[in-house]
Structure 1
Amino acid sequence: MIQDFASGVYLANGAEVSVAGFHYPTRMVVIALPCGGTLLWSPVTYSTTLANAVKTIGPVRHIVAPNSFHHLFMADWAAAFPDAHCHGAPGLAEKRPDLPLGDPLGPKPPAAWYGVIDHLIVETRLTTEIIAYHKPSRTVILTDLVQNFPRDWVRGWRRWVARADLLTAPRPTVPRKFRLAIRDRAALRHGVDDLLSKGADRVVMAHGAPIKTQGADALRHAFVWLKP
């Protein structure tokens, strides 16, 4: 149920969600914090069994929706862990005023995970996404900005839409719709270069197989289209 991915980083796969007839796998990242608690990044479907598994790592202290799409299950986790702090990407509070969100996350991480997780804020016309960089394990965590589905994941006429959007490209990449929606390509290029300079050994995506080795090479390929 929970996979040990890297030192202090764990993965939990959730149920598929359907958006406009497309079925998306879901994945939550559980990060152990220096305080002894855990941070849930992009929460998946809540279950008591999963919650108990998370608690074996540490009590849930923070719950993060890293863009304005990955909020569907936050309320259930917040209700189960009322003492946890809920955080959202810019724009989510306006979309989900019912969620107990504090101030939107920004480039400077909160004190609870400062020095452990860095943020890269990516603004698009579709959503604003926070890319996380877990410094101890050199793991880059993305939500929707980079995706990679098996070629036969989508069937029927949607298969052609998925191919045109690069969702089923041979290697993880940024879907075409997000490429067109990027507000500041230069800022994104600088941010990706900064991540690569820190060292990126591993990559986790919400919609694609986790990458345990040669993460920097995978990121270079995913963002090669940003080159001037």
Structure 2
Amino acid sequence: MKHFENDTVVREVTPGVWTFSKPFTRYGILPIGGRSTVIKLSTQTDGKDDLWILASTPLTLETKTKVDELGVPKYLISPDSDHHLFLGEWKRVYPAAKLIGPAVVAAKKPELKFDGVYGKDPEETHYGFEDEIEARYFSGFIKEDIAFLHKPSKTLLEADLIFNQPCTEQYSIVGGSGPFFGATFTPYTKQAKKLLWKGVKKDGFDAMAVDSIAVSGWDFERIIPCHGDVIENDAKEAWNEAFKWHMQGKD
């Protein structure tokens, strides 16, 4: 199921998992595409489905209308240091939703009250969605990304760990597909491995190896990145290839 909201493509990727894909330029000049993802949880509030939302794009009137149709936002998630631009507007509209993100974002957004902070809270902390959505905090990555697994749909969600350019869906309304990385920047390219390697903190390589191997062990069939097209097939292979240097050693 797919429909369009101005420049945003809204799609039910798999039952209960909706993406909001739109154009986005890094630094205002580099087209990489943007995406929010909404997941229906098995719980309800006042007879409506609870929603877990990776909130990475603007909360336009059209987006809000669709979100309200789907259910009640219960969790608003920031997946890494760069994906926080629109958290404030989401939280203002949905003040009852729990705001959760990495420590680096909580530090950047002191005006927002976070209900959960990866990298600051004890590792065993549960925020309430863990029965359905598992999380892995990449402490060794400079952007402190968090990978999420929606277990019922076998869907992996992530922000800047994997790009899958060109971002055809995200630019399908306005035209073009985001020429910054072109058709060559996928998890299978050497450029992707270099980006992941250069993005590691000075003392973070051991942690990156442990975390990338842990995610590789998850049971997922697709990857929904924030930048680029959804990886619908061979998702585990794509992950393993992107993190090959971290999991097996750099050649």
Instruction: Tell me if 1:3 matches 2:11.
Output: yes
SS at 2:52 equivalent: strand
Q: 2:99·2:116 contact (CA, 8 Å) conserved in 1?
A: no
Instruction: Tell me if 1:153 matches 2:161.
Output: no
For 1:89-115, what per-residue CA distance to the aligned partner results, in whole angstroms no more than 9, with x for missing partners? 121111111123223135546342011
Deviation at 1:53, TM superposition (A): 0.5
SS at 1:112 equivalent: coil
SS at 1:190 equivalent: helix
Show the counterpart of 2:114.
101
Alpha-carbon distance in 2 for matches of 1:171, 1:218:
6
- Unaligned 5+ segments in structure 1 are none
CA RMSD of aligned residues (A): 2.5
Show the counterpart of 2:5.
none
**Pick from 92, 101, 106: which aligns with 1:79?**
92
- Unaligned 5+ segments in structure 2 are 1-8, 44-48, 168-176
Instruction: Tell me if 1:136 matches 2:152.
Output: yes
TM-score relative to the length of structure 1: 0.84
Q: 1:124·1:178 contact (CA, 8 Å) conserved in 2?
A: no
The letter of the residue matching 1:66 is P
For 1:179-212, what per-residue CA distance to the aligned partner results, in whole angstroms no more than 9, with x for missing partners? 1232333333333333333322110111111012
Show the counterpart of 2:200.
182
Q: 2:132·2:152 contact (CA, 8 Å) conserved in 1?
A: yes
Alpha-carbon distance in 2 for matches of 1:150, 1:97:
35
Show the counterpart of 2:35.
27
Alpha-carbon distance in 2 for matches of 1:126, 1:20:
22
Alpha-carbon distance in 2 for matches of 1:168, 1:200:
24
Aligned length: 219
Instruction: Tell me if 1:219 matches 2:239.
Output: yes
Higher relative contact order (CA 8 A, sep 6+): 2
SS at 1:56 equivalent: helix
**Pick from 56, 66, 69: which aligns with 2:82?**
69
Identity of aligned residues (%): 21
Alpha-carbon distance in 2 for matches of 1:10, 1:189:
30
Q: 1:109·1:118 contact (CA, 8 Å) conserved in 2?
A: no
The letter of the residue matching 1:146 is I
